[in-house]
Amino acid sequence: MPDDVTRLLREAGLRVTQPRLSVLAALDVHPHADTSTVIDAVRAESPDVSHQTVYDCLSALTTAGLVRRIQPSGHAARYERRIDDNHHHVVCRSCGAIADVDCAVGDAPCLTASDDHGFTIDEAEVVYWGTCPACAVGAA
């Protein structure tokens, strides 16, 4: 993985730095992580990395298209490495857990809007809301 990540950073025009590598590694272990989770994971390996450095890394990686930022309504921003497809998310209304949901049919059916209003659509963001299995058991 390190060689692939190094190549991806360079291809995106970013310098290869330990904090960026650490943030990407944290997101591999914690998909859909909020900033606090990323900070905790990075600082577990490198205690001297500042909060601001992690924020800056997340921003640069998102801008470069190496990380996807999602922010379901009413929840903190989350980050993920799965960027190479048009997938969606399911969010638990109770605990905020998030999971990936592949498009239901075809390559990217959600990119065909019933009325595009003249827009050139290149991404669709669908969020399914519900209750995760752990919360459903607790509510029963």
78 within some domain:
no
The answer to whether residues 20 and 66 belong to one domain is yes
- Whether residue 128 sits in one domain with residue 94: yes
> Number of structural domains, the chain?
2
- Assess whether 44 and 92 both reside in one domain: no
Is residue 35 within 8 Å of 53, Cβ to Cβ?
no
pLDDT tens for residues 78-127? Answer: 999 999 887 889 999 999 999 998 876 655 556 677 787 888 877 777 88
The pLDDT of residue 73: 87
Q: How many CB atoms lie within 10 A of CB 17?
A: 13
Report the CATH number that the domain containing residue 127 is assigned in CATH: 3.30.1490.190
The whole domain housing 60 covers 2-70
Higher pLDDT pick, 20 / 1: 20
In a domain, 99, yes or no: yes
Residues 15 and 54 reside in one and the same domain = yes
Query: Is this model's pTM higher than 0.75 or not?
Result: yes
Q: Provide the 10 A C-beta neighbour count for residue 46.
A: 12
